[in-house]
Amino acid sequence: MGDKPKHRKGLWSPEEDQKLRNYVLKHGHVCWSSVPVNAELQRNGKSCRLRWLNYLRPGLKRGLFSAQEEETVLTLHRMLGNKWSQIAQHLPGRTDNEIKNHWHSYLKKRALIAEPQNKTQCGNPSSDHYIDSAKTLENQAKSYQPATMQGFGLPEPEVLFAEWLTPDHVHHGSLDVFGNYSSLEDGLMQGHLFNEGTAFGGKYDTNNPASDASTSDVFGSVFKF
DNA sequence: AACCATGGCAACCGCTCAGGA
DNA sequence: ATCCTGAGCGGTTGCCATGGT
């Protein structure tokens, strides 16, 4: 009865973050369910995975969405619907959770306001024609995004853990943090990676464990998925 | 100054899918 | 071919901060 480890819930403490980050950077995540055991965390694997993907993963941006990012989300949402993970693939450094939250809190209203105009242009989303044009638009979205974002005048969102990443990671196009950082996105990443910024937004930013030198060493040598 | 409403964000839950035994 | 397990995804909830009254 009582010999099952109780899994902690709720917000992550800085100590938990550090344990998880150090473990994943060192060993990777072959099996998420074994991560909390080996990292000595009172969490379940699912929670660890979510925390890593949404908050600890290197290269994450934080802060406001740029106008271009919002346009991208709106465009892709019109094409794909609530496929947040697919939308997130087009926005390097943004998580599906973050995009989803931003959609529900802000963009949904924008989309509703814009709806009457779009209806006349797009017609019925379920039609074959729509799907074809959606694919075209998706390709366009893939290609236009990095270039346009580079040239955008608004302050860019900061990238988390940028201090972990050496210029080599960027210039060689080998930043496989998301598995989809191709050279296509290099331009975008170069625009973000060296932003000065706190690695931790939100509640724990006064106690930033990411600046730990040993961690960045580990990242440079071991981080590969 | 205190209370209430609202918005934003982090995390959890449940379902689905894929891979392996 | 079937079952089991783990990973991934989307929806939902809860908490906290902020603004308004």
Residue A133 approaches strand B within 7 Å at CB:
no
Strands A158-159 and A61-62, sheet pairing:
antiparallel
Tokens (6 digits) for A132: 């074809």
Q: Which amino acid is at A89?
A: Q
Task: Output the distance from A153 CA to B18 C1' rounded to whole Å.
Answer: 43
Instruction: Please tell me the distance from the alpha carbon of residue A102 to that of residue A73, in angstroms, as a whole number.
Output: 10
Query: How do residues A54-64 score in pLDDT, each as one tens digit?
Result: 888 887 887 78
Tokens (6 digits) for A205: 């930013």
Query: How do residues A46-89 score in pLDDT, each as one tens digit?
Result: 889 888 888 888 878 877 888 888 888 888 888 888 888 888 88
Give A124's DSSP letter.
Answer: -
Tokens (6 digits) for A216: 């960045």
Residue A51 approaches strand B within 7 Å at CB:
yes
Instruction: Please tell me the distance from the alpha carbon of residue A101 to that of residue A122, in angstroms, as a whole number.
Output: 25
Close Cβ partners of A96 (under 8 Å, ≥ 6 residues apart): A84, A85, A87, A88
Q: Are A208 and A199 in contact (CB under 8 A)?
A: yes
Distance of CA A198 to the CA centre of its chain: 16
Average pLDDT over residues A191-208: 38
* Structural domain boundaries in chain A: 14-56, 67-114
Instruction: Please tell me the distance from the alpha carbon of residue A102 to that of residue A64, in angstroms, as a whole number.
Output: 9
Lowest pLDDT segment from A44-48, A106-110, A131-135, A217-221:
A217-221
* Stronger pLDDT, A108 or A5, i.e. the higher one: A108
Q: Does residue A165 register a pLDDT over 80? A: no
| A81 nearest nt, CA–C1' | C10
φ, ψ of residue A56 in degrees (nearest 5): -100, -20
Tokens (6 digits) for A80: 């794909």
Partners of A62 in the beta sheet?
Answer: A158
Residue A116 approaches strand B within 7 Å at CB:
no
* Stronger pLDDT, A19 or A221, i.e. the higher one: A19
Q: Are A223 and A25 in contact (CB under 8 A)?
A: yes
Query: Which range scores top for mean pLDDT: A87-96, A164-173, A205-214?
Result: A87-96
Q: Which of residues 39-58 of A touch strand C (CB under 7 A)?
A: 45-46, 49-50
The pLDDT, as a whole number, for residue A157 is 56
- % of residues, chain A, pLDDT over 70: 46
What pTM does this model have? 0.66
| A56 nearest nt, CA–C1' | B10
The domain defined by A67-114 folds into: Arc Repressor Mutant, subunit A (1.10.10)
